[in-house]
Amino acid sequence: MTTPTAIGQIALPVHDVDRATAFYRDVLGLRFLFSAPPGLAFFDCGGVRLMLSRPEGVPAGNGSVLYYRVDNLDASYARLKAAGATEREAPHMVARLPDHELWMAVFEDGECNVLGLMEERR
């Protein structure tokens, strides 16, 4: 038996695929890959594919929190806020580790899903 080596795709249930597509493409800035019927949209995030879809047995907004790595949390936070994303938590330090600090900010995507931005500051 082989063990998984990486995440290939994450499915995120949303109520309105068009609205969520606009958020992930235009506000968050993920690279849009393609759409497929019925109501699917796919994005690339550093080699991991994000699939937006209508709920199938899992209510929208009750999925896992996705944390996106960014190089400059303050600039990313300002860009998302200016683009109209709903803020939950402003940038703040989460942990001071031996070789870096972990900083995060938290937003909602308009579909009741929570997403985090994270930066490892050295």
Q: How far apart are the first and last CA of the chain?
A: 38
pLDDT of 14-62, one tens digit each?
989 999 999 999 999 999 999 988 899 999 999 999 999 887 665 666 6
pLDDT band, residue 67 (cuts 50/70/90): confident
Distances 33 to 25, 59, 66, 74, 104 between C-alpha atoms, Å: 10, 24, 19, 27, 27
**What's this model's pTM, rounded to 2 decimal places?**
0.79
For 10, the enclosing helix (H) or strand (E) is: strand 9-13
Domains annotated on the chain, with CATH: 9-121 (3.10.180.10)
DSSP 50: E
